[in-house]
Amino acid sequence: MQSSRPGPVLLIIATAVALFLLMPLLAVVPVSFTPQRFLSMPNGVLSLRHYQALIDNPAWGQSVLLSLRIGILSSAIATVLATMFGLGIWMFQPRFSALLIGFVLLPLIVPPVVSAMTLYFLMTTLSAFNSFIGYDTWIGVALAHAVMITPFAVVLILVALFQVDRRIDLAARGLGANLTTRAFRIIIPNIKFGIATAALLSFVLSWEEIGVTLFITSVNAITLPRLMWMGLRDNIDPAIAAISVLLIIVTAVILALRIFIERRGASETK
Amino acid sequence: MTGKSVLPRTILLLAPLLLFLGLAYVVPFLGVIRWSVTLPEPGLGQYHAVLTDPLVQSVFIRTLRICLFVTVAALVMAYAIAYVWVRGTPAQRMLAEFCILVPFWISVLTRAFGWLALLSNRGLINTWLQAAGVISEPLALARNEFGVIIGMTHFLIPFAVFPIASAMRSIDERVLLAARGMGASRSRIFWSVFVPLTYGGLIGAALIVFVFALGFFVTPAILGGGRSVMVAELVYLRIFQSPDWGLGAAISVVLVVFIGVLLALMRRFIKPAHLVG
């Protein structure tokens, strides 16, 4: 390995890249403490007024609750569908596995704006049938998010499944276990950490989703990213900086949780 | 395997997701195609507009130009940090991983806002430069094409890192040792042996970044400030500002066809698992 350790030139470039990657995250911190009404650097005086604004304006709290609700429903749909699909692929190895997986990954690969247009069509069509599930409803947003995050859950669950030793399942089958027993008592317990990670990370993706959400909501279903978007487009509201700082903290906690889940998963399979 | 009796149960497990995506994604896309040839009136007028309308054309050309810039910048930067991530000392590797994964998981809006906080007229960079007396007027760094390129490159670096890093990981250490044994210098080993062995990952990364950049919406809309509109924002504007669903739909279809061709090219280089951290 010694021969291929990064040399000084590469290390300098990589450090610059690392700074570039972290800079925008660090920059929001000072802005969030500005005493001014507009986007600016605090000039010696720090203020918590923009954090206070998050509490005072009920719109923020409402959008957080709505995003939570949407995230939980959509990641539940995605996790269940992806787990079933993964089990089907892993247990039966159908002849066109690659093709089926490719099909399921479409929303991950198709440009977000095309997915947004497609889901806009779906939602406006659904609205014509039922006013609770179509355009600008929370269930509609959850369905659309489920479409967008399921491919991602499929990838994570397939990765977990392909680390399972097939012989365990063969042994269970040899001992006469039926399909349900094999699925619920053998395979799922073996990938439970993979499933937990998939659920957690698909929740994060729904929680942050904005591209599609912009196309399928207008005034009723204002998710947190949608509210941030509204504060970013024209006059930049420094409350966005305060909420960004909080979001960075929450994301860091969730990532730490993911590492914790993976560690436990790793130590248990040893 | 066990023969025919297995088939229905396979279907039972696979069908829910296939049906869900079929009904919620594929069928509506057919609807978008229908919009593109029926709105505002039946015919191929919207496709004609995509090909000939000077405004649409200029947006397409700007989009391609920005995407090319972003792809090259993201590849170079991703290569450097991926190298440290894969072949650095344990401490360097951990730091690199942190710098790659943390931004990857932060919301695209937060990241775009972070760039505004750095680049806008009253942002960090202009404030510092003015305080230091380097400039008297703030530089126009955001709400223009420059801001868009910076923000998109930042967003896409992690997507370039994953395939490059996986190509780097699969290099056989013995090949590098052999090169050294034959007396090659460090830089010779890097440029003549190491880099060529990662071409597959580089091409995969280039295609991923380019495809993602093409349809990307949020960062250009915020950092471009409505002045350097890209294709995706044009679709949005056509639907919500000048109700012209037909043109929005036609642009979407053209994008899908274009990307389908690119994907057919990239099939050799990309594994789905590389798309996520």
Provide the number of CB pairs (under 8 Å) joining chain A to chain B. 282
Question: What type of residue sits at position A126?
Answer: L
Q: Contact B91/B269 with Cβ under 8 angstroms?
A: no
Query: Tell me, what's the ipTM?
Result: 0.88
Closest CB to B14 among A13, A88, A108:
A88
Task: Output the pLDDT for position B26.
Answer: 95
Closest CB to A208 among B13, B108, B276:
B108
Higher pLDDT, A270 or A193: A193
Which residues of chain A lie closer than 8 angstroms to B249, CB-CB?
A: 117
Is the confidence at residue A164, as pLDDT, over 80?
yes
Do B231 and A121 make contact, defined as CB atoms within 8 angstroms? Answer: no
Do A122 and B31 make contact, defined as CB atoms within 8 angstroms? Answer: yes
pLDDT in tens, A205-227: 999 999 999 999 989 999 999 99
Q: How many residues does chain A have?
A: 270
Exposure string (b/e) for B202-217, b if CB count within 10 Å is 16 or more? bbbbbbbbbbbbbbbb
Which residues of chain A lie closer than 8 angstroms to B248, CB-CB?
A: 117
Closest CB to A7 among B14, B186, B256:
B186
| Consecutive H or E run containing B181 | helix B173-181
Task: Output the pLDDT for position A114.
Answer: 93
Do A105 and B17 make contact, defined as CB atoms within 8 angstroms? Answer: no
Task: Output the pLDDT for position B270.
Answer: 58
Task: Output the pLDDT for position A43.
Answer: 77
Task: Output the pLDDT for position B276.
Answer: 46
Quote the CA–CA distance of A84 and B36 in Å, as a whole number. 35
The arithmetic mean of pLDDT across residues A154-178, rounded, is 90
Which residues of chain B lie closer than 8 angstroms to A8, CB-CB?
A: none
Question: What type of residue sits at position A155?
Answer: V
Quote the CA–CA distance of B254 and B268 in Å, as a whole number. 23
B216: phi > 0 → left, psi -120 to 50 → alpha, else beta; which? beta
Quote the CA–CA distance of B244 and B246 in Å, as a whole number. 5
The residue in chain A having the minimum alpha-carbon distance to the alpha carbon of residue B82 is A14
3-state secondary structure of B127: helix
> For testing the chain B interface, which of A101, A118, A202, A217 should be mutated: the one with the most B CBs within 10 Å?
A118
> Nearest CA to B270 among B214, B194, B201?
B201
The arithmetic mean of pLDDT across residues A175-192, rounded, is 89
Which residues of chain B lie closer than 8 angstroms to A184, CB-CB?
A: none
Quote the CA–CA distance of A91 and A183 in Å, as a whole number. 9
Which residues of chain A lie closer than 8 angstroms to B161, CB-CB?
A: none
Q: Contact B251/B239 with Cβ under 8 angstroms?
A: no
Q: Contact B228/B105 with Cβ under 8 angstroms?
A: no
With 0-12 / 13-18 / 19 or more C-beta atoms within 10 angstroms meaning exposed / middle / buried, residue A238 is buried
Q: How distant, in Å, are the alpha carbons of A35, A157, A241, B101 from that of A231? A: 17, 36, 10, 27
3-state secondary structure of A130: coil
Higher pLDDT, A117 or A94: A117
Q: How distant, in Å, are the alpha carbons of A217, B90, B229 from that of A214? A: 6, 42, 17
Residues of chain B scoring pLDDT < 70:
1-7, 266-277
Task: Output the pLDDT for position A89.
Answer: 92
| Residue corresponding to tokens 């906690």 | A253
pLDDT in tens, A4-54: 688 888 899 999 999 999 999 998 888 889 888 877 777 778 888 889 988
State residue A72 phi and psi, 5-degree precision. Answer: -65, -45
Exposure string (b/e) for B159-184, b if CB count within 10 Å is 16 or more? bbbbbbbbbbeebeeeebeebbeeeb
Q: Which tokens is B117 given?
A: 């906080």
Task: Output the pLDDT for position A252.
Answer: 85
Quote the CA–CA distance of A228 and A226 in Å, as a whole number. 5
Question: What type of residue sits at position A131?
Answer: S
